[in-house]
Structure 1
Amino acid sequence: MRLILQLVVVAAVALAGSAAVTAADWNVPLTLGLGAATAVLLLLLAYAWIVRRTEHRPVDELSLRAAGPRLAQGFVIGAGLFAAVIVNIAFLDGYTVAGRGSVSGAVALFGFALAACVTEELLFRGIIFRIVEDRAGTWVALVLSSLLFGLSHIANPHATVWSALAVAVEAGAMLGAAYAATRTLWVPIGLHIGWNFAEGGIFGTDVSGTGGPDGLLRSTMSGPAALTGGGFGPEGSLYALAAGLLTAAVFLWLAHRRGRITPRRSRRPAGSEAGATLTR
């Protein structure tokens, strides 16, 4: 029941925020402001409120004590990973810089990324992964939340069964593993924002099949879909799949080393280790 209640509350707030951000139609101050308001003032507060009401505990996975460093840490990892993907694609002439883009477009894309990434992390890692893990263990939670995350992208423009599976494996597994290793949502939130912003806001490629204004760079992509991801964008490429799998493996190794892989229903309160650091 708590899973359903939490999903309903967060999803309802997310839908309202998404409608507002979409209505802004890439107006820079409106998209940035509404994106930030949706992410910070609405979604995070709604998540914290419903978790307290249904679980009667502090929301340690969103502890403000380490929010800044953890967000920055995740952002750097996510942006760096996507940059590595693009460099590899460009090495085989799949990605070409066509010229300078737009700073205002990059700012608008950042606002959009804030709302979208916080929404997805709260739903798929904060609610689904965390609650399923508490009942069925880390591996079941990782597989289920990853598959649902990939499935949620199947209706995107240019999406295919392959692209949905790629998102499930490269992003769903990586972000779930990041939460398992750190027990804070700030790291996967930052990682997700960094990846998406680098994808659209810096390198000017489509994000999960969706376009938008030019980022800091204007680009063209050409070549086989296995290299470039086709119309879905680089997230459908084998390079993105490899980067996500490698990062997921590192986070899972860290989770195992720290004793945070739960084989069965946890006997301790959910999220009790949420404030732990990545360097513990």
Structure 2
Amino acid sequence: MNIFYNFEEQRLRAGWRLLLQFLLMIFLLYAGQMLISYGTDQPGFLLGRLPGAFAFVLSTWIAVRFLDNRPFAALGLAFDKRWWSELGVGIGMGALAMGCIFVLQLLMGWLTFSGFGWERAWSVAYPLPLLGYLAGMLLVGFYEELMFRGYQITNMIEGFSYSQKSYTTAVFLAIAVSSILFGIMHAGNPNASAVSTVNIILAGIVLALPYLFTGSLALSCGIHAAWNFFQGGIFGFPVSGSPSRSSLLQVNETGPDLFTGGRFGPEAGLLGLIGLCLIVLMTYQYIRAEGYTLGLHDNFK
């Protein structure tokens, strides 16, 4: 057996494809950040997300086209009517989960209001910073799901199912490894901790489920983008360690970090885990209601 190349499939083996895509992504991310730094030393939120979008999407497209030898749409990107409908459903799920976290903090008396986003000093009319934040979070939700769920899980299932491993074991390994990488990529964020990293690994598992059940990234992208936007853009919580200056509601958290996540945000607290559990329940209900099989989609078999 050739450990580098699969002559039957006429392509590199999955592990090498994943490694090359990841290295290309790092190179493009560095190049994009350098280009942005030449233009400004203080990019806004949306501009600051563009290097990531450029690196994640381009490296994945190149890998899919020239290493995987499959169409880009095979990563759950049909972009048909159902795809856009499921994107909207995912946005609703993420918004509802984060809204429940906000309401729980209100009921516990852990939030105090300090004002509204438009009351802060801005160089442009207030809705524009909020809209820029929304656009940035839509980008993050798309390109992170494209790479961590779409590209990595698809290829890891193929790689781990090789040899004597059962297909079920391969799926579990793909979910676990991609989610661990997802957590590690956020471990360097401001105010990160061991707890926040573990919780983000769990979030990776939760975001993998809709992709595996439906064969589409639409639900995962919508959940991810809405979770981030409502967390930081509407309710004023930190998002993965970064505060949001442009949030609609300006709040101060006074509850215990064990529950609220402290300066990292709900993703590092028990309330974040409650939100993830709600997303799992909503995903389960959607899968049943829409007639999907509660199991691995045919795209992965």
Question: Shorter-chain TM-score: what band?
Answer: 0.7 to 0.9
Q: Structure 2: how far apart are the matches of 1:161 and 1:34?
A: 26
The amino acid across from 2:132 in the alignment is: A
Q: Kindly indicate whether the alpha-carbon contact (under 8 Å) linking 1:205 and 1:219 is maintained by their aligned counterparts in 2.
A: yes
**Which segment drifts farther, 3-12 or 83-92?**
3-12
Deviation of the 1:16 alpha carbon: 4.3
Q: Kindly indicate whether the alpha-carbon contact (under 8 Å) linking 1:157 and 1:232 is maintained by their aligned counterparts in 2.
A: yes
Partner of residue 236 from structure 1, selected from 240, 245, 268: 268
Deviation of the 1:192 alpha carbon: 0.8
**Which segment drifts farther, 152-161 or 109-118?**
109-118
**2:147 matches 1:147:** no
**Which segment drifts farther, 249-258 or 54-63?**
249-258
**2:47 matches 1:56:** no
C-alpha spacing 1:43/1:58, structure 2 compared with 1 (3 Å)? same
Q: Kindly indicate whether the alpha-carbon contact (under 8 Å) linking 1:20 and 1:34 is maintained by their aligned counterparts in 2.
A: no
Percent of aligned pairs sharing the same letter: 28
Q: Structure 2: how far apart are the matches of 1:18 and 1:94?
A: 37
Equivalent residue for 1:109? 133
Equivalent residue for 1:118? 142
Q: Kindly indicate whether the alpha-carbon contact (under 8 Å) linking 2:240 and 2:265 is maintained by their aligned counterparts in 1.
A: yes
RMSD: 3.0
Equivalent residue for 1:72? 88
> Between Structure 1 and Structure 2, whose CA radius of gyration is higher?
2
Matches within 5 A, 1:166-245: 166-169=199-202, 171-245=203-277
Tell me how many residue pairs correspond in the alignment: 261
Matches within 5 A, 1:32-47: 32=46, 35=49, 39=53, 43-44=56-57, 46-47=59-60
Q: Kindly indicate whether the alpha-carbon contact (under 8 Å) linking 1:71 and 1:186 is maintained by their aligned counterparts in 2.
A: yes
**2:131 matches 1:96:** no
Q: Structure 2: how far apart are the matches of 1:190 and 1:182?
A: 14
**2:134 matches 1:86:** no
Which fold has the larger relative contact order, with Cα–Cα distance below 8 Å and residues 6 or more apart in sequence? Answer: 1
Equivalent residue for 1:276? none
Deviation of the 1:159 alpha carbon: 1.1
Q: Kindly indicate whether the alpha-carbon contact (under 8 Å) linking 2:93 and 2:282 is maintained by their aligned counterparts in 1.
A: no
| Deviation string, structure 1 residues 128-186 (Cα, Å, up to 9, x no partner) | 222112333222212222222122222111111011111111x2111111211221122
**Which segment drifts farther, 248-257 or 141-150?**
248-257
Q: Kindly indicate whether the alpha-carbon contact (under 8 Å) linking 1:200 and 1:215 is maintained by their aligned counterparts in 2.
A: yes
Deviation of the 1:200 alpha carbon: 0.8
The amino acid across from 1:173 in the alignment is: I
Deviation of the 1:69 alpha carbon: 2.2
C-alpha spacing 1:13/1:118, structure 2 compared with 1 (3 Å)? farther
Q: Structure 2: how far apart are the matches of 1:160 and 1:173?
A: 19
Q: Structure 2: how far apart are the matches of 1:111 and 1:35?
A: 9
| Alignment TM-score, normalising by the size of structure 2 | 0.75
Q: Structure 1: how far apart are the matches of 2:107 and 2:264?
A: 20
Q: Kindly indicate whether the alpha-carbon contact (under 8 Å) linking 1:203 and 1:218 is maintained by their aligned counterparts in 2.
A: yes
Equivalent residue for 2:22? 7
Q: Kindly indicate whether the alpha-carbon contact (under 8 Å) linking 2:134 and 2:229 is maintained by their aligned counterparts in 1.
A: yes
The amino acid across from 1:118 in the alignment is: F
- Unmatched segments (≥5 aa) in structure 1: 263-267, 274-280
Q: Kindly indicate whether the alpha-carbon contact (under 8 Å) linking 1:17 and 1:34 is maintained by their aligned counterparts in 2.
A: no
| Alignment TM-score, normalising by the size of structure 1 | 0.80
Equivalent residue for 2:167? none
**2:42 matches 1:25:** yes
Q: Kindly indicate whether the alpha-carbon contact (under 8 Å) linking 1:95 and 1:220 is maintained by their aligned counterparts in 2.
A: yes
Q: Structure 2: how far apart are the matches of 1:177 and 1:235?
A: 18
C-alpha spacing 1:133/1:94, structure 2 compared with 1 (3 Å)? farther
Deviation of the 1:111 alpha carbon: 3.1
- Unmatched segments (≥5 aa) in structure 2: 1-15, 119-126, 161-169
**2:171 matches 1:138:** yes
**2:261 matches 1:261:** no
| Deviation string, structure 1 residues 86-139 (Cα, Å, up to 9, x no partner) | 111221012233221133332232233234333322221122222112333222
C-alpha spacing 1:70/1:257, structure 2 compared with 1 (3 Å)? closer
**Which segment drifts farther, 14-23 or 209-218?**
14-23
Equivalent residue for 2:193? 160
